[in-house]
A = this chain, B = another copy of it.
Amino acid sequence: MPNPTQALATLKSRLLEIQHLKDAAALLSWDQETYMPAGGGQTRAEQLATLQTLAHAKFVSPEIEDLLLHHIDPATGLANTEANGLDEASKALLRETWRDFSKAKKLPSDFVNRLERECSLAQQTWAEARRRGDFMHFLPNLQTVIALKLEEIDYLGYDDSPYDALLDTYEPGATVAQLQPLFATLRHGLLDILKHVQEASLPPDDRILFQSYDENQQVTFGKLVLNRMGYDFNRGRVDLSAHPFTTSFHPTDVRVTTRVFEKELPSCLFSCIHEGGHGLYDQGLLQEQYGTPLGESLSHGIHESQSRLWENNVGRSKAFWTYFFPLLQEHFPSQLGAVPLDAFYAALNTVKPSLIRVEADEVTYNLHILVRFEIELALIEKRVEVKDLPGLWREKMQEYLGIVPERDSEGVLQDVHWSLGALGYFPTYTLGNLYASMFFQQARQDIPALETDIQRGHLLSLKAWLNHNIHQYGRQYSATDLLHRITGCELSVEPFLSYLRAKIGDIYGFTITR
């Protein structure tokens, strides 16, 4: 038996090879969304399925299992006493690799291949169905995907709710039992703020954001902001895609995309800032841990906390626009030259129930997530059938937001996630918002000059704080532990609600006392 250090080195070199396969797959996906000619779609799906099936097969090999069992006690999933010579980071690396291995090993190779293929096909059908506003066109594929996810749950197993098996994929450790009370409090708080907003006498006017804005200038300004955020263009780039996203092939090659509409200033602007937050996380992971869990982002919720912190806590703040609004005015003098900062700031923070999640304001955004969470839960717990989703969607939208889509393209068909089999993913968006407010509150305490820094366009102190406190650790700590290390607190909705009450109350002229 090799000594622990040798076994660990061998394990890392095997993981590195698998990572190369996964990153090749990630490039294939990025290319599919940015530059691939339309005719290449079918083969691309097959190429992706091959790479991912191969990466899975290599990972669940007996060799990896042997290497892990040099160190891991399978009863606890933790490094055993013989691993005493290893430091804390190495033990965490082994723990997380074992976690991934145990999950991956439960999935038959054939299932991984079927899931990849069906999801690729479902995604293409979904895109067409959304274009046509025709849910029935998507229905058979969605039924297949849901059936596959139920099959996946059977493989993975669960203690309490079957939904937990999926949730755990995106947010390790999260459970329905934990989320439901949290989300109930959140819902109550958000509906209360929304009620105050709707009763306010003088809502801001956001029409200035929907004038005609030159698309190239919009992208130029987006890149300017990314640059100030510390996003490194020598290790990244910005492209256009139908839906903005961030992808990484290594900390030295992290790419964001944006989209730009001539008559919607917020779209390109906030997608740049949002994806830039994701990009800073991926650029901030340690290069020497590439291929291991310590070189990966912690969870989807923590990842989303980085994008939302930059997009909302920073990017929709008065301090931020104190510096950036004059620059934006220089880019768009005829549209914004005569607009006062306060009016622009208020316009950016207009609260109004709307049909599309990705365009929602900070107050109503999480109500969209709650709608999806409840629908997914009902699906997975088999309380509703796939064919009934459009009706259930309208019902929940009425209940939470008081509006109902006329067309399914603005309703149940709007998001790509289900076509990709990404059920259990939506709740991480809300967790991200909650984490973001807690992190930002702490950053303000840790960096006394933060407000002033931001007012001066100096965003690098915040970036350094995030690098230091979050990015560099990869998956060394659990989300709960990381949050506690940084803030000393458990996850709570209160920081987020307090932040919203103060900010939105200030803009709309109301006070909510608690």
Contact = CB atoms under 8 A, between A and B. Distances in A.
Contacts of A234: 37-39
A43 B290 CA distance: 10
Interface stretch (A15-23, A134-142, A351-359): A15-23
Interface string A1-33: 000000000000000110011011101100100
Contacts of A28: 24, 27
Nearest to A20: B50
A58 B388 CA distance: 46
Interface residues of A, number: 37
A135 to B, nearest CB: 28
A40 B250 CA distance: 8
B249 A47 contact: yes
A232 interface: yes
Interface in A205-243: 232-237, 239
A17 B21 CA distance: 13
A47 B24 contact: yes
A249 B51 contact: no
Contact of A233 (B20, B37, B237, B290): B37
A10 to B, nearest CB: 16
30 contacts: A20-B47, A20-B50, A23-B47, A24-B28, A24-B51, A27-B28, A27-B31, A31-B31, A35-B35, A35-B239, A36-B253, A37-B234, A37-B235, A37-B236, A37-B237, A37-B252, A37-B255, A39-B232, A39-B235, A39-B252, A40-B235, A40-B252, A40-B253, A42-B252, A43-B252, A43-B290, A44-B249, A44-B253, A47-B249, A54-B54
Given A16-B46, A39-B232, 19 more contacts: A17-B54, A20-B46, A21-B54, A24-B24, A24-B25, A27-B27, A31-B31, A37-B234, A37-B235, A37-B237, A37-B252, A37-B255, A38-B234, A39-B235, A40-B249, A43-B249, A43-B252, A44-B253, A47-B249
Closest 5 CB pairs of A and B: A40-B253, A20-B50, A39-B235, A43-B250, A39-B252
